[in-house]
Amino acid sequence: MVRHVILWQLQDGLSASEKESVKAAIKSGLEGLKDKVDGVSEITVFTQPLASSNTDIMLDAYFADAAALERYAAFPEHIQIAGTIIKPNVKSRICMDFEVE
């Protein structure tokens, strides 16, 4: 099984309401892909970090294998969400993919 973890920081210029709107769109969009892409076991997007955090959003996803992660990355709806919601509103992205038992 492959775990895919991403941490995002949103753009500084977004108002509080814009940040909440972007977070909600990312959460619903990405979590909505779970049953659409073969090999996705779980997708959870966390949007309410504690004040001690230095990031705004976390994606925690599990895939059957590396091929399933590749299908997810290439899935048209994922590409659309990344291009229209995530990339325009994010200033930094950290990703780690690794195998778990």
CB 13 within 8 A of CB 89: no
pLDDT confidence of residue 74: 98
On the question of pLDDT at 101 being above 90, the answer is: no
Q: Return the closest-CA partner of residue 90 out of 53, 61, 60, 57.
A: 57
Q: Looking at residues 92-96, what average pLDDT do you find?
A: 98
pLDDT digits (tens, 9 = 90+) for 16-69: 999 999 999 999 999 999 999 999 999 999 999 999 999 999 999 999 999 999
pTM score, whole prediction: 0.94
pLDDT computed for residue 75 by the predictor: 98
